[in-house]
Structure 1
Amino acid sequence: MKFRRQLFEFEDLSWFPKVIRAGMMDYLRFTISLLRIYQPIVPLLREALVRTGQQDILELCAGAGGGTEGVWRSLRASGLPNVRVTLSDLYPQPAAWQLLAERTQGGLTYAPAPVDATAVPANMAGFRTVFSAFHHFPPAAAEAMLADAVRQGAGIGIFEGAGKHWYELVLAGLVLPVVQLVTTPFIRPFSLSRLFFTYLVPLIPLCTIWDGTVSLLRMYPPDQLLALARRADPNGQFEWQAGKVRNPLTRSEVTYLLGWPGGNEQLSMSNEQ
């Protein structure tokens, strides 16, 4: 599925109720963590951290932090015991982030104020990561995010928990909503509003179906990610690589783009199965 459609997602709308957005983010965090969607990118991210000499990760557009704890623990187990993560977002989720901070004993911290991923404050250092969110940005804004990383000399990793296949649209529309109805009572921290807007007034699952479907249509495949990187880095200051990597347990794919200083126009694409 090569084409891309810039349709709207509810969670992007400024007027969208915070309680519904938070419920959707909590579900995504729970599901991504449960299925360990982003575990296949740990070796890629570890290599990028080693190449840049970084111990700090600045997660942009973090939402509720889905999958971040698992990636952090795997990075520590892979020989990076001092790695730390700071969660940030234009719409901060401190309730969800505080839970992660407590569970990781400060290994995951967060920025309480809104952070614009296309213009990150200079005092927020670290290797930048974006999980499950890059598709929200139309080409001009996506290029601006990459250009800001290049301008500040900050390595960056873009990760989307799908391979952009037609069958994933079926999963988003038919299978995942059932999973949402079954798992919602087990999501923590507990929230009565989440139960109300899932079972009595089902705005959370309905909006999740729409946003999940649109997310796949908005995703950039690897060749488009490299094209954005090329435009964001016209002088070839970074080395870039893009591709897909498969989760051997779930057979799901993660699409990624990685870039770090020291390029000389090195761009590569790979598919690791």
Structure 2
Amino acid sequence: MKLRWQLFELEDQPWFPHVVRQGMMDVLRFMIMWLGIYKPIVPLLRDALAQTGQTHLVDLCSGAGGGIQQIWQQLETQTGQRTTITLTDKFPNLEAYQYLASQSGGALQFETEPVDATAVPARLTGFRTVFSAFHHFPPAAAQAILADAVRQNQGIGVFEGAGKRWHELLLVWLVFPWLILLITPFIRPFRWSRLIFTYVVPFIPVGTVWDGTVSLLRMYTPGHLQTMVNALNAPHYTWHIGRARHWSGTGVLYLIGYPSKLQP
């Protein structure tokens, strides 16, 4: 799947009901953790942190937190070091962030105010990550996210929970609806609204399948990502771009960049 279609996702629309958007993000977070989608990229992220001397991540476009709790657990296990993460978003999901903060004993922190991924406040220093969100941005904005990291001399990792392969569409269409019906009662924090909009009025399953389909079509290929990197004019940065294989047969698209030599 080499082409990219700039279609629309429901959760991006200002008119889309917040309660349904929140439910969809909760489903995504649970599935990412349950399936261990991002486990294959943890060694890559661990090595990048070692190269930059960082033990703190600034997670951009955090949504409902995605698999960030699992990433944190895996990093601490693999590095043997204390790792902390600050969750940020242009529309912070504070209830989800508070839950993750309590579950992690405070290792996962969060910003209560909106944070624009294309212009991150200078006070938020640390290795930047973007999980399951880079495809939301059109090319100019996506390029601006990378450029802002370079301008502020911060490392950045962009990760998408799929490999942009045609067979992944079949998983979204044929497996996701049943999976959502199965897992919804086990998602925490518990919300009655999530049950209502899954089993009574199935806005969450329908919206998740639509947005999952569009997400795959909107994702940037490794070739697209390489073109963005080439345009940054950042010779002091080291870049790694590719696909990491997941046990399910899907892939995880990734772009990792960091200063080869930390600049003052």
Classify the TM-score, shorter chain.
Answer: over 0.9
Separation in structure 2 between the aligned mates of residue 136 and residue 108 of structure 1, nearest angstrom: 24
Residues 1:181 and 1:224: Cα distance change in structure 2 (over 3 Å):
same
Paired residue type of 1:33: M
Moved over 4 A (4+): none
Residue equivalent to 2:253: 255
Paired residue type of 1:246: R
Residue equivalent to 2:220: 220
Once the two structures are TM-superposed, the CA of residue 253 in structure 1 deviates from its matched residue by 1.1
Separation in structure 2 between the aligned mates of residue 138 and residue 80 of structure 1, nearest angstrom: 38
Structure-to-structure mapping, 1:171-190, within 5 angstroms: 171-190=171-190
Residue equivalent to 1:81: 81
Residue equivalent to 1:245: 244
Paired residue type of 1:245: A
Give the TM-score normalised by structure 2: 0.96
Residue equivalent to 1:58: 58
Matched, 1:115 2:115: yes
Residue equivalent to 1:96: 96
Q: Kindly provide the CA deviation profile for residues 178-223 of structure 1, in whole angstroms up to 9, marking residues without a partner as x.
A: 1001111111111011111111111111111110000000001111
Unaligned residue ranges in structure 2 (runs of 5+): none
Separation in structure 1 between the aligned mates of residue 234 and residue 107 of structure 2, nearest angstrom: 36
Once the two structures are TM-superposed, the CA of residue 251 in structure 1 deviates from its matched residue by 2.6
RMSD (Å), alpha carbons = 1.1
Percent identity (aligned): 56
Once the two structures are TM-superposed, the CA of residue 235 in structure 1 deviates from its matched residue by 4.0
Residue equivalent to 2:191: 191
Paired residue type of 1:63: G
Paired residue type of 2:83: V
Paired residue type of 1:152: Q
Residue equivalent to 2:40: 40
CA contact (8 A) 2:9 2:214 kept: yes
Separation in structure 1 between the aligned mates of residue 138 and residue 21 of structure 2, nearest angstrom: 20
Give the number of aligned pairs: 261
Unaligned residue ranges in structure 1 (runs of 5+): 264-273
CA contact (8 A) 2:150 2:234 kept: no
Residue equivalent to 2:146: 146
Paired residue type of 1:254: V
Matched, 1:167 2:158: no
Paired residue type of 2:3: F
Matched, 1:203 2:203: yes
Separation in structure 1 between the aligned mates of residue 187 and residue 2 of structure 2, nearest angstrom: 34
CA contact (8 A) 2:130 2:157 kept: yes
Give the TM-score normalised by structure 1: 0.93
DSSP-derived class of the 1:167 partner: helix
CA contact (8 A) 1:58 1:85 kept: yes
Paired residue type of 2:222: P
Paired residue type of 1:139: P
CA contact (8 A) 1:226 1:241 kept: no
